[in-house]
Amino acid sequence: MSDYSQIDSASHEEQRDQGSLKLPPPSFSQINDRQQSSQGSSSGPRRGRAIFGLAVFASVFGLIGGIVGAFVERETSLRDANSAETVTQVTSAPVVVASGSDNMADSLILSVATRLANSVVTVISTLGEAGVGGRSVGTGIVLTSNGEILTNAHVVEGATSVVVRFAGETEPRVAKILATDVGNDLGLIKVEATGLVAATFAKPGSVKIGDAVIAIGYALALDGGPTVTSGIVSAMKRTIETESGALNSLIQTDAAISSGNSGGPLVNLKGEVVGINTAVARGDSESAATNIGFSISVDEVLIVIEQLRAQANGVERREGFLGVGLTGREDGGQGAIITDVRAGSPADGAGIVVNDIVLSVDGEPIDGQAGLVAAIRDAVPGQKVKIEISRDGERMTFEATLAARTN
């Protein structure tokens, strides 16, 4: 008989002896005392069998519990999978926003634009009578602290009134046209002012292909401050033909230039003016043009500024004269072909003849007749120029003393 049967029997006997009296269940110490007194020397093997039985019972119970748990989990999963509702767990990742606490240096372009902010102005010209004529909007650059401003001639030419507005100001200032040079597309205007911030111009001859440049101007007359674009010097000494004639010694840049930029500065990363923005190439049905803008180089600008100041003081502007007829080459070669030499002209005196091909003037390459016209126009009467010629395949250099062009 097992230990459990003995314990149960002892309890029944006590209940019978005491009739209806119900005693509390024996304590654990009482049970142990009875087991020890009744079992004597045979308690060791019986205790081992009890432990083994208890272990078997626990194992069976655990196995049953595991089976039941797995079944419940499987049923729950199947029920969720077959449910018509789809439950999506959403985890909200935070949007990363800069703290703004880093005191990083401003970009170089921003620094340059800030430096020029008070030297670049909007130029607004009224053409014809108010309410009848049109309006021209461009850009200007401050030359002196007492109010001299440089812009394009085509911005102010023929204007009946001109006003300028400085950055940060709400009211325009009246400007006076001092002088214009339509051939070089530069004009000098002035406002009554003191203490203006004059721009700094780069040293002539310092601009190179590949230099980083920034174009600043009031593109399309948009609200707010000037438009700032960046690029590089794409080419030098370009010549183009405009409605007003030929422009030579131009800087070509891929910095975006638009209407309203005319007269604004092209500057290097030091904030020095390297050119005055004047034109942009536009595509047509037969050709495409992308980011091809032109600026009058600082080498040319500085010369013309002094000529404009002289004009403003009453000195007549006179252009050089060579005395030749020209045509462009159609064989793909460089230069301009002489088609006529006026008798007694500077060209005639220098020994230039018909069919000579002009390759350069004072070392500046000539690529087409417009380039030669512009080069001679920019010189002054009495100036000696060296003209490189190709004649029957042989290169020669002639020196001519220019005369004054007459209308």
Task: Please give the pLDDT value at position 307.
Answer: 94
Question: What's the chain's length in residues?
Answer: 407
Establish whether domains 108-312 and 320-404 are of one fold. Answer: no
Task: Please give the pLDDT value at position 22.
Answer: 42
Task: Please give the pLDDT value at position 87.
Answer: 54
Domain ranges of the chain: 108-312, 320-404
Q: Exactly one of 119, 234, 249, 262 is catalytic; which is it?
A: 262
Fold of 108-312: Thrombin, subunit H (2.40.10)
Give the list of residues 6+ apart from residue 21 with CB closer than 8 angstroms, or none.
15
Task: Please give the pLDDT value at position 60.
Answer: 53
Instruction: Give how far Cα 15 sits from Cα of 12, 20, 23, 366, Å.
Output: 5, 7, 8, 136
Task: Please give the pLDDT value at position 101.
Answer: 57
Contact (Cβ atoms closer than 8 angstroms) between residue 239 and residue 374: yes
DSSP letter at 41 equals: G
**Distance, CA of 279 to CA of 295 (rounded, Å):** 7
Hey, what amino acid is at 201?
F
DSSP 3-state of 370: helix
Q: Exactly one of 119, 125, 154, 367 is catalytic; which is it?
A: 154
Encode pLDDT of 97-152 as tens digits: 877 655 555 689 999 999 999 999 999 999 877 666 788 899 999 999 999 999 99
Burial of 398 from C-beta contacts in 10 A (0-12 / 13-18 / 19+): middle
Is 262 designated active site? yes
Is 348 designated active site? no
Nearest residue to 369 (alpha-carbon basis) of 341, 331, 339:
339
Q: Domain 320-404 classified CATH 2.30.42.10?
A: yes
Encode pLDDT of 330-389 as tens digits: 998 999 999 999 999 999 999 999 999 999 999 888 988 888 998 998 888 999 999 999
- Low-confidence residues in the chain, pLDDT < 70: 1-91, 100-106, 130-132, 407
In the chain, helix, strand, coil percent, each to 5? 30, 30, 40
Q: Exactly one of 136, 181, 185, 234 is catalytic; which is it?
A: 185
Task: Please give the pLDDT value at position 38.
Answer: 45
